[in-house]
Amino acid sequence: MFSGIDPRSPTPLYEQIAARIRLAVASGDLRPADALPSVRVLARELRVNPATVVQAYRDLAVDGFVEMRHGQGTFVQEVPTFRRAEERAAQAQKLVQKLIEDGARIGLVADELARAFHTEVGVEISE
């Protein structure tokens, strides 16, 4: 779930971690009442500051994706279907934004990227 967490990215690590968990909840990889790894275990596994994991969990709790139960751990909440769809759409949007930025840096315009995208997924572009 956390492969490719990138400390060099301008996106803060806690946001990257929270985004992965949100996506896992949205796609059903994490089910309601599933326990998230403890702060200590996850910090250790990702080799990040425990405060970073706490921050990620807190943000998820504020969004209603998880519940932090004192002394027991952090558990996935029931998230309404529309909210999960929104989350998936938001993540897709972010990926595309990054693609467009990366493309612009090497001089590719949106049209060229769109064509490449359609070639890659095998869908005809309608004009």
The long-range contacts involving 70-76, CB below 8 angstroms and separated by at least 24 positions, are 73/35, 73/36, 73/38, 74/35, 74/36, 74/38, 75/33, 75/34, 75/35, 75/36, 76/25, 76/30, 76/31, 76/32, 76/33, 76/34, 76/35, 76/36
Please state, in angstroms and rounded to a whole number, the distance separating the CA atoms of residues 87 and 81.
Answer: 10
Query: Does 102 sit near other proteins (CB under 8 A)?
Result: no
Q: Is 109 in the site for other proteins (CB under 8 A)?
A: no
* Residue 104 near other proteins by CB under 8 A: yes
64 binds other proteins (CB under 8 A): no
Selected range binding other proteins among 3-11, 56-64, 66-74, 84-92, rule: CB under 8 A: 3-11
Q: Does 16 bind other proteins (CB under 8 A)?
A: no
Does 51 engage in binding with other proteins (CB under 8 A)?
Answer: yes
Q: Does 43 bind other proteins (CB under 8 A)?
A: yes
Nearest-5° Cα angle at 35, 3 to 27: 55
Q: Is 105 in the site for other proteins (CB under 8 A)?
A: yes
Q: To the nearest whole angstrom, how small is the minimum distance from the Cβ of residue 22 to other proteins?
A: 20
By CB under 8 A, name the binding residues for other proteins: 7-10, 12-13, 39-40, 43-44, 47-52, 104-105
